[in-house]
Amino acid sequence: MTQQVLIGLLAEGTTDLRFLSSVVRRTFERVAFDCWDTIEIVEIIPLKSFQKGFADQVLDVSKSGRELYDITVLCVHADADDRTDKTVITHKIEPTLEMLNADMQERCRHLAWLIPVYMQEAWMLADKSLLKKQIGTDKSDAELEIHRKPEEIANPKQVIEAAIRIARQSLPRRRRGELTIGDIYQSVGQTIELNSLAVLPSYQKFERNVRKIFQDLRLLQSFGKENPDQKKPHD
């Protein structure tokens, strides 16, 4: 039996959406291989809210996404802006869950949190060979100043922008300004290997969140639990 899953994605910005759409879809598809039934990830639906606060935005799209698209899961992106996700969890995620639990309106209640350490661009540094290919350079990581571990870089977006400038310096002057970081979000997101992302603790947490969603949907076995549709053999 094929189960269809529609995923709403609330990203912090349009460039985040370009990178994350493919990553989110492929992560759900990878976890879906472990499910009992055949899972079809039908679509990743970008959602946007004009509310000001984080919790209000999540509640807004959890309702509109359910009403307009009948989404199964809402994936919410929030950069940590720090070396850990503790502040985001304490000041954003937990208050949002309290508001969600207190609200009885019809809305999507299966939420998968996606919290990159510092910011989403750290995930783009998980595969530096791919990044250099997209930039179009054979310079070393050290020459491009991208040699540190991705989640140890407090300003990964600025580091990538600087790497692009360094790489373009060896090109003819008329071509130096042709590439910006905005040009590579989508292509890196579509081609980066999930195994490269899987070395990052923040991505590992996201994948565990996805696995928990499938368990809550009763499509994936929880530890110590059997398939609810699987009949036990007669004695």
**CATH code of the domain in which 204 resides:** 3.40.50
The span from the CA of 160 to the CA of 204, in Å, is 23
Q: What is the predicted pLDDT for the residue at 2?
A: 87
- Averaged over successive runs of 10 residues, the pLDDT of the chain (235 residues) comes to 93 97 98 92 95 96 97 98 97 97 93 98 98 95 97 97 91 70 97 98 98 94 52 38
Q: Is residue 195 part of a domain?
A: no
Q: Note whether 157 and 79 are within 8 A (CB).
A: no
The length of the chain in residues reads: 235
Q: pTM for the complete prediction? A: 0.90
Q: Is residue 235 part of a domain?
A: no
User: Is residue 147 domain-shared with residue 92, that is, in the same domain?
Assistant: no
Q: Is residue 61 part of a domain?
A: yes
User: Is residue 16 domain-shared with residue 112, that is, in the same domain?
Assistant: yes
The span from the CA of 219 to the CA of 110, in Å, is 13
E strand spans, 101-140: 111-114
Q: What is the predicted pLDDT for the residue at 224?
A: 41
Residues contacting 83, CB < 8 A, separation 6+? 117, 118, 151, 152, 154
Q: What is the predicted pLDDT for the residue at 149?
A: 97
The parent domain of residue 140 ranges over 122-188
Q: Is residue 181 part of a domain?
A: yes
User: Is residue 72 domain-shared with residue 113, that is, in the same domain?
Assistant: yes
Q: Is residue 153 part of a domain?
A: yes
User: Is residue 8 domain-shared with residue 93, that is, in the same domain?
Assistant: yes
